[in-house]
Amino acid sequence: MTTKKDIRSLELSQLTELFSTINEPSFRAKQVYDWLWAKRATSFHEMSNLSKNLREYLETNFVINAVEISEKQISNDGTIKCAMKLHDNYVVESVLIPKEERMTACISSQVGCSLTCKFCATGKLKRMRNLNADEIFDQIVLVKNTALQQYNTNLTNIVYMGMGEPLLNYNEVLLSVDKITSPNGLGMSAKRITVSTAGVSKMIAKLGDDEVKFNLALSLHAANDAKRNHIMPINETNTLDNLADAMLYFYTKTGTRPTFEYIVFNDFNDSIEDAQELADYCKRVKSKVNIIEYNPIDDGEFKQTSPARLREFTNHLANNGIICNVRKSRGKDIDAACGQLANKNKLAQQLIK
């Protein structure tokens, strides 16, 4: 039995070439492409301006691997977590984060994760596979629709901060950004998109070479190699020095100031000495800092720092001229906050075995 090809893996030029081989006019390719990306069709039967014979040909030879929401949870603060079922029955999680000034979709780039960061529930899952660009795109469309249905408000921002490491799925992530920003897709500004990485130096530099227009965030969490090695094994092969060089190269090539994300753990990385190390690190590359409160996970070894120590930490950064914002977590009561995505819904338990 021949496996049908995912039609959304074809670019417009490839569709045009295909239609030429079956004696269909080239404008049909543009019609199909619009149905797939601008109109977000999930079946060939929806493509009403195509002939019945062409729709049947497409149905016979191709498939649209549409993502669907299998479960929703709504937090007390209005955050909505969506379990997204993929065509092969794997599940990833996406989150809608509503605030007065913005409506943000937090999306996943991999099924599971391979990086085993100690503070992150997703790191306890197996990495099963990368997501395709169309699957990433579908997450955004579904979260967008949820925002419109629940809040009558459109998405304003997208963050690749869900499950997985985006830069270990480089090509599909960049292709998904292209679809999101294209007039034939969602038409969003790249400046409304942030890709977050645990720190893959080689790929950060490649982002610079590719002169991407979106924002970049580095999950730092310690400006000390020994401490970062302890919580993030990826640091053993992507040291702070290597990351600083890569981030500086990215900034030089793109002109976009990166953001350092820093979760403050009680009695681990929340001292004045830690704050000074972070300030010194920030001065190596033009950047800003987002301080993120820790969200406890099952069997986690860390605790949230105290309000007093957090104030001392952020004041020290400010006194050193570092742009610093404290981000309050959303959706903690439904395990939707930063670091908590662990597929606790029924369909996803195969990832935890």
What global pTM score does this model have?
0.91
Among 219, 289, 286, 290, residue whose Cα is nearest residue 256: 286
Quick one: CA dihedral 175, 218, 163, 168, positive or negative? positive
**Residues in the chain where the model's pLDDT stays below 70:** 1-2, 297-300, 329-353
CA–CA gap between residue 277 and residue 339 (Å, rounded): 24
**Active-site residue, from 82, 113, 324, 338:** 338
- As a CATH number, domain 68-351 is 3.20.20.70
pLDDT score, position 347: 46
Q: Is 82 among the catalytic positions?
A: no
Do residues 119 and 297 lie in contact, with contact meaning Cβ atoms separated by under 8 Å? yes
Do residues 70 and 318 lie in contact, with contact meaning Cβ atoms separated by under 8 Å? no
What stretch(es) of the chain map to CATH 1.10.150.530? Answer: 5-63
What stretch(es) of the chain map to CATH 3.20.20.70? Answer: 68-351
Q: What separation, in Å, do the N-terminal and C-terminal C-alpha atoms of the chain show?
A: 31
Q: Is 93 among the catalytic positions?
A: yes
pLDDT score, position 352: 42
pLDDT score, position 333: 59
**Active-site residue, from 24, 93, 135, 261:** 93
- As a CATH number, domain 5-63 is 1.10.150.530
pLDDT score, position 296: 74
CA–CA gap between residue 274 and residue 72 (Å, rounded): 39
pLDDT score, position 342: 52
